[in-house]
Amino acid sequence: MSLPLQTPPALDVEALRGDFPILSRTIHDRPLVYLDSASSSQKPNAVIDAVSRYYRESHANIHRGVYVLSEEATIAYEQAHVRVADFINADFEEMIFTKNTTEALNLVAYAWGLSNLQAGDEVVLTPLEHHSNLVPWQQVARRTGAVIRYIRLTADGCLDMEHAAETIGPRTKLVSVAQVSNVLGTVNPVDELGRMAHAHGALICVDGAQSIPHMAVDMRAMDCDFFAFSGHKMLGPTGIGGLYGRRRILEQMEPFLFGGDMISEVTLEGASWNDLPWKFEAGTPPIAQGIGLAAAVEYLQGIGMEAVQAHEHTLVRYALEQMREVRDLDIYGPEADDRGGVISFNLDSLHPHDIASILDQHGVAIRGGHHCAMPLMRTLGLNSTCRASFYVYNTTEEINVLVEAIGAARRLLRR
């Protein structure tokens, strides 16, 4: 699936980098080259200041106080829901704040899956999935008797869509798939998968952890039923994420967690639930983090998601070209037109942790390991890989540093 790229104005990356204080650091006396944004992105001053300002000026619990601080905090937290919902073209009631993508996917698995799956029903996944979109469904299948089926991959790490059409059928109740692979960068055709699922009366759940930071996502255009994401991968704080759910489905679901603000009324005999989205936000919520996420969304909107995507496409294309010049380097996944800003690679038979450690000595931060995708590693015949991932603040000059550092690792470890 080729990325639908526009031709927006080029980013002024050097000016933008000035918004990220951590990028001025040196590591081992070298300028920091941060290439692990697929794990967690860095934060601009706008986000840092928004969180700090809340704690300095307006911290209080929400929905419970009639005093000024509580009212200010309540307004800010509710406005954060509005801004994030608008960012993905959803309604306020459909935007649930969670801790992260993992909690959002668990919410779907336990609040929807346990109540709607029966023995013989099928959940369709892919080998590309992060553990967070595998393990919850394995656990729910074990409890309900549902069956998990997997769509095969092609040789270049894309989904075999002919096999998808064969796999998604009358027994399918849910298709759950990452929009972008966190290992290979593969951009999956979630629109087409959604049409296949809906044709059989099934739902589609999209893991958007690696897509929402890097491209425009539209819940109405995508026509998905659930969409999960993390704030910390999209310039926001840790401890905040989100779940979009189609309103009619959320209204039918029972809560995942109980207590605190998710209730409407409690008696000694039972309880009734609050309105959406609070029905699924039990206890004191991540108020500061939600405000920080809203600031991150505002920052991304100021850049323009088309510009973000185009910049990353330029980086990944350049990186693939340069990295393919390195001897003994194996690169996994599709070509640039079919991938996001992620490149996984291995250098000869050297261990990724050794390579990552040597790159760190050059100030280059990458990830080495299985990337919470052990089934995919087995599918590829690997134990682990190195992974470089790019974002709005990265430059082609940093890719040159990466390639030089890989060359240094090769020379050092092959002595």
Please give the torsion angle defined by the CA atoms of residues 303, 182, 138 and 192, in that order, rounded to the nearest 10 degrees. Answer: 70
Catalytic residue among 158, 205, 224, 372: 372
Cα 39 to Cα 115, 296, 369: the distances in Å are 32, 17, 12
Could you tell me if 159 and 127 are in contact, meaning their C-beta atoms sit under 8 angstroms apart? Answer: no
Place of tokens 């590309």: 128
Dihedral sign (CA 24, 25, 31, 32): negative
Cα 101 to Cα 207, 340, 402: the distances in Å are 7, 18, 29
For the question of residue 372 being annotated catalytic, the response is yes
Could you tell me if 117 and 140 are in contact, meaning their C-beta atoms sit under 8 angstroms apart? Answer: yes
Token pair belonging to 339: 């991938």
* 122: nearest Cα among 132, 137, 139: 137
Enumerate the active-site residues.
372
